Structure 1
């Protein structure tokens, strides 16, 4: 399992599809901040996306899709001069899985949201920009367009398991969009590190063997660079030192094991590279603000 797969598994990604949106004429809808990561794909027509806190609007055309990675209100509009109306009542009265705005159906969007566990923002979402736009003109977007089309097909039919298939296709969309973002954006954070030729070998080694007592020197040998080069590059791209990153990843693994409640705290400590429960407790509280026992009381399943 590669680091991206591990992180997606740890943050507990689930997807939920909403009603499609058909619109035409003069229309504009204002959406409340989404609880998770919102996605929409334009199946037909064009419209404008405005997101609170993002200076420039995004022009969306047929085949485009986007992710909103922050809980920010946003507006979709066919006409930039039309005052927006609340989207909630429109979607509450959706018929046959389609909400309608304005007059006609010149524009058709399919949307939904991804939900994550409570640690996701630190682990995954903070490494992403508020909006990721994937234009249809990019050849790499073909797989995303295929997934969107298949989602539409599944929702239009009554085949057994159609909703489950659509949700899995939505997860395929998320992974593809993250790949596209990494390929074209560069940027900073551990996601950017996965595509960095210096950092990727070290990141993969830490993810493959998190309990190993890694030193900067050992990670530098894995990456085939000097210690100073690795340390400087890590700080520049990931924003922290290799040891700080390793500590954070170990705590994420520990938090996952604690949430699942399938091991003692001493066993969790050993599994993620700490010699004792007390050593884990110190690092865990410094990272999460809670001791492992307090975290277990709050988040472990009951019954």
Structure 2
């Protein structure tokens, strides 16, 4: 299913699915890292998001500007900020740049003395996004998301990681594509876990953990062109207007009508650069009565007109 098909479905009820589709989420690489003895690697800032899971042994994750995070077998993490990071099994190990070790996409890398026994294994993947991902998906998230080995769903993650390892090790037909698709499953699992904790900064993902707010979010995503109001959304969630407004603001960080406006404009921006629909038709499809009404709201939000955005923005 293409991103356009997913986000245009009238029966779409999953805000997470909608946002991942809208930003064109894809895994660009999946790889393994085998550590021997003591080792330490320095990684450049990821362009999008970076996932890793410890399959064997222990190591420490250090992200610029944050406290070191000890990791053990079964722990997984997602880096969402463009900051350099390091992985190490010992503070005494000489730090080496990681990039030269990963010679080819989908191939494994070795760290540490070649003659030492294997002490650590990790599986990782990188994610790229095609459309405004930093604001929509990554900015509302903490710089590091952790899925501990004891968390719900962690065992399933390890099973999927085992499949990724086999695909990459055996190099069967389509192995890299399979590994990258499985990596997307890891991404969704980490985002689900974060949503279920109710922790971290406010945002639409945190709102999914509140049943009242989640009902309103799903209603908006199912029919963004509908003339929603706080009253109609509250009726859908079976609560009062004041309750919906307070809980939505607390979890999402903005009011329901403000969220609706921004989501409509994100949809419009996406359609401007991925379709050749007339601007007037796009305006109608996202809930604006006219091209002029969309233009005014679009200019306030993005600082440019829909026509200029279409001419200058890139879908990638």
Question: For the Cα contact (< 8 Å) 2:130–2:315, is it kept in 1?
Answer: no
- The structure 2 residue matched to 1:200, chosen from 201, 214, 231, is 214
Q: CA, structure 1 residues 262+234, in 2 after alignment: closer, same or farther (shift >3 Å)?
A: same
Q: After TM superposition, what 4+ stretches of structure 1 lie above 3 angstroms from structure 2?
A: none
Q: TM-score, normalised by structure 2?
A: 0.89
Q: Say which of 2, 5, 9 aligns to 2:21.
A: 9
The CA distance in 1 between the partners of 2:31 and 2:150, in whole Å, is 26
* Cα offsets for 1:6-37 (capped at 9, x unmatched): 11111101102244222222321111101010
1:233, CA displacement in angstroms? 1.6
| RMSD between aligned residues | 1.9
Aligned match of 2:95: 84
Q: Which residue number corresponds to residue 7 of structure 2?
A: none
From 133, 144, 150, the equivalent of 2:163 is: 150
Separation in 1 of the partners of 2:194 and 2:157?
Answer: 13
Contact persistence 1:211–1:270 (CA under 8 A)? yes
- Aligned position for 2:241: 227
Q: Distance in 1 between matches of 2:172 and 2:34?
A: 23
Q: Distance in 1 between matches of 2:151 and 2:205?
A: 21
Question: Matched residues in 1 for 2:73 and 2:275: separation?
Answer: 46
The answer on whether the counterparts of 2:106 and 2:176 sit within 8 Å (CA) in structure 1 is: no
Query: 1:285 aligns to what SS in structure 2?
Result: helix
Give, in whole Å, the separation in 2 of the partners of 1:195 and 1:139.
Answer: 15
| Alignment counterpart, residue 111 of structure 2, candidates 101, 122, 134 | 101
Q: Distance in 2 between matches of 1:98 and 1:124?
A: 29
- Where do residues 271-286 of structure 1 align in structure 2 (5 Å cutoff)? 271-286=285-300
Aligned residues: 300
Tell me the equivalent position of 1:237. 251
Residues 108 and 213 of structure 1: CA distance in aligned 2, closer, same or farther (over 3 Å): same
> Aligned partners of 2:156 and 2:299: how far apart in 1?
42
Q: Which runs of 5+ in 1 are unaligned?
A: none
Selected match of 1:264 from 256, 273, 278: 278
